[in-house]
C-alpha cells in the first residue's frame, strides 16, 4: 500500500514538472499576446478566448515560416538550394568540377569569418506586436573591432501592417528614414508647431534627436517597410526610445516620476493621473480605424507639399532626382546635403542602386566614405578585397596594442588581400569600409536593389577599377609599364577593353555573349 502511494506521488510530481517545463518553454511573444487579450477592456470571456486563439494561430504561422527558412538554408548548405550567391562561379564543364568544389569550400570558409555581412539572425527585436515590429542590429563593434569607424551608427527597420499607428516617442539619436514599401504619415513636433509628411517608396526623412514624432501606416493593402539609420548623441553606438504619451505598454516615462511631483506638475489629482497612464496596453504598434488613418494622413498634405510630392525642406523623394549613373545594366541615385539640406550636419550621402539581373557594378572603392548597405529586394552577391583578414592577422588584433617590431615585420611579409564575399538577399546588411575595392553582382533571375547610407561622405570620390572610366587609363604610359612590368599597349588593351561604365554585363552575361577573355 505504501509503495502504491509513493508511485502515485511520483506521478503527480512528474506531472507538475512537465507542466512547469511546458510553461517555461512557452513563447514569450505568445505569452505577451495572450496577456494583452486578457487585459482588453470591453471584451467578454468568449472574445478573450477568440483573441488568444488568434495569438496561437499567428505564432504557428510564424513558426512555419521560420521552419521553411531553416529548411531552405539547410538545402543550400547541402548544395540543393538551387542558384545561390555563387551562381556565376560554376563551371559547366566536367573538367572544372573539382576547382568549383574547392572554390565553394573557400567561399564558405570566408563567410564563417566574415565580419562585414549581417543576416536575419543578427537582428534584435526592439518592438514586437501583432501589428508590426522594429528590428535593429547590435552595435557594430560587438561583431568586430574592424567596424569601430562606424560604431556610433546603428541600422534597423520598421515593418508595420496596413492601417496601423506607431506610438509617439523621441530618441536620443538622429534618425534617417528611407521608405522601401507602403505609405506613411510621419508627424514631427518642432518647438511650438508640428510638421506632418506624407511619404511613400523612395522618400527620405530626417527626424532630429529629441524631437517627438509619431507614424501612421496609411496604405490599406500594402505593409509599410522603412529602413532606419540611427546616430546616437549621448552614448556612442547606443540609443533609447522615450515614450511620453502612453501608459503601461508602451511604458510612459512620466510614470518614473513620483505621484506628488506629477500632481504638482499637472495640477491634477493622482487618481486621475493613474487612470490616464495605466490605460494604454496595446503595445507601441497598434491597429487603428480607416477614419483615424484618414484624419492623420490629411494633416500631412500641408507639411510636405501636395501629395504625393515632397519638398526639400521637409522630406525628399530620391527618385525625383536623375540617376547619377544609368545604362541598361542598372541605375544609381544619390542624395546628399545639396539635395536634402537636413543631411548637412550628418556628413551622409544616401544612395540607391538597382542592378539589372545578371549584371554587376564595376569593381570600385570609396576614397573616404564607409558604406552601410541594406538589401531591399532581389538577390545576388558581393566581393570585396580586405587586407585586415589576411593570413597572419585577425580582426581581434586591431585596437589591442601594436605588438613587437618582429611580429609586425612578420605580419607585413605574410600580408595578402583576402577575398570577402557574401550572398545578398532581402534584409541582408553589408559593410564596405573606405578604400576597400568591391563589386556587386545581381543574380541571373532577379534585379538586385540596395539602399546605402554612406558615412563620412564629404569629399568622397568613387574610383572605378574597371570600365571605360577606370583610373588606370589616366596613368602615364611609363607608370603603367613600371607598375605591371608589361608594355603599355598590353595594359591599355586590357583596361580599355570594357566600353561600359559603372554598371557592366555580369559574369553570366559575358559568357552567354560569347566574349573572349584572351
Lowest mean pLDDT among 141-155, 221-235, 365-379, 404-418: 404-418
CATH topology of domain 317-460: Jelly Rolls (2.60.120)
Q: Name the β-bridge partners of 169.
A: 213
CATH architecture type of domain 117-312: Sandwich (2.60)
Binning pLDDT at 50, 70 and 90, where does residue 344 land? confident
Confidence at residue 57, expressed as pLDDT on a 0 to 100 scale: 65
CA distance 206 to 332: 21
Which residue matches cell numbers 517555461? Answer: 24
Binning pLDDT at 50, 70 and 90, where does residue 304 land? very low
Lowest mean pLDDT among 59-73, 128-142, 496-510: 59-73
Mean pLDDT of 336-351: 93
Asked if residue 266 has pLDDT above 80, the reply is yes
3-state DSSP call for residue 271? Answer: helix
Where does the chain hold its CATH 2.60.120.10 domain(s)?
117-312, 317-460
Please choose, from the candidates 325, 280, 269, the residue with its C-alpha nearest in 3D space to the C-alpha of residue 464. Answer: 325
Lowest mean pLDDT among 53-57, 200-204, 243-247, 362-366: 53-57
CA distance 439 to 128: 35
Which residue matches cell numbers 572544372? Answer: 96
Look over the chain and give the mean of its residue pLDDT values, rounded to a whole number: 80
In this structure, the number of other CB atoms found within 10 A of the CB of residue 290 comes to: 11
Residue 504 burial (C-beta neighbours within 10 Å; 0-12, 13-18, 19+) = buried
Confidence at residue 89, expressed as pLDDT on a 0 to 100 scale: 42
Confidence at residue 388, expressed as pLDDT on a 0 to 100 scale: 87
Binning pLDDT at 50, 70 and 90, where does residue 446 land? very high
| DSSP annotation of 163 | S
Which residue matches cell numbers 510553461? Answer: 23
CA distance 180 to 201: 5
CA distance 153 to 433: 14
What crossing angle do the helices spanning 477-484 and 488-495 adopt, rounded to 10°? 90
3-state DSSP call for residue 302? Answer: coil
Lowest mean pLDDT among 174-178, 234-238, 264-268: 234-238
Lowest mean pLDDT among 11-15, 116-120, 241-245, 342-346: 11-15
- Under 8 Å CB-to-CB from 194, ≥6 apart: which residues? 187, 188, 303
Is the peptide bond prior to 308 cis by the omega test (within 30 degrees of 0)?
A: yes
Is the peptide bond prior to 107 cis by the omega test (within 30 degrees of 0)?
A: no
E strand spans, 140-296: 154-160, 164-171, 173-181, 184-190, 193-199, 203-207, 213-217, 224-232, 241-242, 285-287
Please choose, from the candidates 457, 455, 398, the residue with its C-alpha nearest in 3D space to the C-alpha of residue 431. Answer: 455
65-121 residue pLDDT tens:
566 656 655 555 554 333 444 444 444 344 445 555 555 555 544 444 689 999 999
Lowest mean pLDDT among 4-13, 47-56, 182-191, 429-438: 4-13
3-state DSSP call for residue 182? Answer: coil
Mean pLDDT of 22-51: 60
Amino acid at each position: 500500500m505504501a509503495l502504491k502511494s509513493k508511485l502515485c506521488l511520483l506521478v503527480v510530481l512528474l506531472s507538475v514538472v512537465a507542466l512547469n517545463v511546458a510553461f517555461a518553454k512557452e513563447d514569450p511573444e505568445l505569452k505577451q499576446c495572450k496577456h494583452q487579450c486578457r487585459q482588453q477592456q470591453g471584451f467578454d470571456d468568449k472574445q478573450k478566448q477568440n483573441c488568444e486563439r488568434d495569438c496561437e494561430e499567428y505564432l504557428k504561422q510564424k513558426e512555419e515560416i521560420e521552419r521553411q527558412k531553416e529548411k531552405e538554408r539547410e538545402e543550400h548548405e547541402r548544395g540543393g538550394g538551387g542558384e545561390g550567391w555563387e551562381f556565376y562561379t560554376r563551371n559547366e564543364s566536367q573538367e572544372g568540377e573539382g576547382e568549383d568544389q574547392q572554390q565553394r569550400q573557400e567561399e564558405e570558409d570566408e563567410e564563417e569569418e566574415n565580419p562585414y555581412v549581417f543576416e536575419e539572425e543578427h537582428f534584435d527585436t526592439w518592438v514586437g506586436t501583432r501589428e508590426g515590429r522594429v528590428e535593429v542590429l547590435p552595435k557594430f563593434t560587438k561583431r568586430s573591432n574592424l567596424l569601430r569607424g562606424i560604431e556610433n551608427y546603428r541600422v534597423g527597420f520598421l515593418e508595420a501592417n496596413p492601417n496601423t499607428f506607431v506610438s509617439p516617442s523621441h530618441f536620443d539619436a538622429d534618425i534617417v528614414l528611407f521608405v522601401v514599401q507602403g505609405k506613411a504619415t510621419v508627424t514631427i513636433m518642432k518647438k511650438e508647431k508640428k510638421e506632418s509628411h506624407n511619404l511613400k517608396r523612395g522618400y527620405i526623412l530626417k527626424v532630429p534627436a529629441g524631437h517627438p514624432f509619431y507614424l501612421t501606416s496609411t496604405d490599406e493593402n500594402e505593409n509599410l517597410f522603412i529602413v532606419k539609420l540611427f546616430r546616437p548623441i549621448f552614448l556612442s553606438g547606443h540609443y533609447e526610445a522615450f515614450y511620453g504619451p502612453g501608459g503601461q505598454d508602451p511604458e510612459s516615462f512620466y510614470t518614473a516620476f513620483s505621484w506628488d511631483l506629477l500632481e504638482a506638475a499637472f495640477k491634477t489629482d493622482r487618481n486621475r493621473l493613474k487612470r490616464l497612464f495605466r490605460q494604454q496596453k496595446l503595445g507601441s504598434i497598434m491597429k487603428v480605424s480607416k477614419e483615424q488613418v484618414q484624419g492623420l494622413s490629411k494633416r500631412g498634405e500641408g507639411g510636405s507639399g501636395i501629395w504625393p510630392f515632397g519638398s526639400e525642406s521637409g522630406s525628399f523623394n530620391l527618385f525625383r532626382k536623375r540617376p547619377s549613373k544609368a545604362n541598361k545594366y542598372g541605375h544609381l541615385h544619390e542624395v546628399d546635403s545639396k539635395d536634402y539640406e537636413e543631411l548637412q550636419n550628418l556628413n551622409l550621402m544616401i544612395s540607391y542602386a538597382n542592378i539589372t539581373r545578371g549584371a554587376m557594378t564595376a569593381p570600385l572603392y570609396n576614397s573616404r566614405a564607409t558604406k552601410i548597405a541594406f538589401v531591399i529586394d532581389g538577390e545576388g552577391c558581393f566581393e570585396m578585397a580586405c587586407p585586415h583578414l589576411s593570413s597572419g592577422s585577425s580582426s581581434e588584433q586591431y585596437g589591442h596594442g601594436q605588438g613587437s617590431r618582429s611580429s609586425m615585420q612578420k605580419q607585413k611579409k605574410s600580408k595578402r588581400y583576402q577575398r570577402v564575399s557574401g550572398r545578398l538577399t532581402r534584409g541582408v546588411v553589408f559593410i564596405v569600409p573606405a578604400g576597400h575595392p568591391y563589386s556587386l553582382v545581381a543574380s541571373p533571375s532577379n534585379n538586385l536593389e540596395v539602399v546605402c547610407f554612406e558615412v563620412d561622405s564629404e569629399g568622397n570620390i568613387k574610383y572605378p577599377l574597371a570600365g571605360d572610366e577606370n583610373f588606370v587609363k589616366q596613368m602615364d604610359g611609363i607608370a603603367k609599364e613600371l607598375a605591371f612590368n608589361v608594355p603599355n599597349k598590353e595594359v591599355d588593351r586590357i583596361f580599355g577593353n570594357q566600353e561600359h561604365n559603372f554598371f557592366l554585363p555580369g559574369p553570366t552575361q559575358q559568357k552567354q555573349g560569347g566574349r573572349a577573355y584572351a
